[in-house]
Structure 1
Amino acid sequence: MKTAVKEIKVGLNFGSGIQSVGRLAIRNSIIYFEYDEAFLQSNLEISPIKLSLKRGVIELPKNPFEGLAGVFNDSLPDGWGRLLLIVY
């Protein structure tokens, strides 16, 4: 039985523990992101052009990264990795 994922929490770890960045959610095939309030105070830009530091929910565009901001898409398996996941 599959369980639906309601949200994915995003964090950074520079060696001193996980710092909460925000959360991703999907609704009607559209992906949304919202920064954690504490992370906004850090002024650390993880994707300054496409995902600027601001409050509120951000709707991510469908292209070019299948609905994800590039900073998140880069952490996923590439084509070869996806093929391995499907086969095994």
Structure 2
Amino acid sequence: METNVVTKQKDKVKVKKPKNYKVVMYNDDYTTMEFVINILVSVFNKKLIEAEKIMLDVHEKGRGVAGIYSYDIAITKVGTAMSMAKEQGFPFKLTVEEA
């Protein structure tokens, strides 16, 4: 008599850490420096000193990183900031890029 033994292998589930995305702000000739600082403080929760440094990067280099977040948070912050810019009549541009 032959006996067959069946063994079950446990499937290993690999949980990947979510990718990070950076929110990039772009310089334009119309959006004020004060507005950019306000966005950085109110939407991106930056301290004033850090907000001023990022704003200067945007102004001098043409772009600056507002922060690095999970995709959903990055998209939400961009939407909030662009809505605020639209309300104020600024053509402020932000994008989300994989970090």
Question: TM-score, with normalisation over the residues of structure 2?
Answer: 0.28
Indicate the structure (1 or 2) with the bigger Cα radius of gyration: 2
Q: Which has the higher relative contact order, 1 or 2, with Cα contacts under 8 A spaced 6 or more apart?
A: 2
Question: TM-score, with normalisation over the residues of structure 1?
Answer: 0.30
| Structure richer in strand, relative to its length | 1
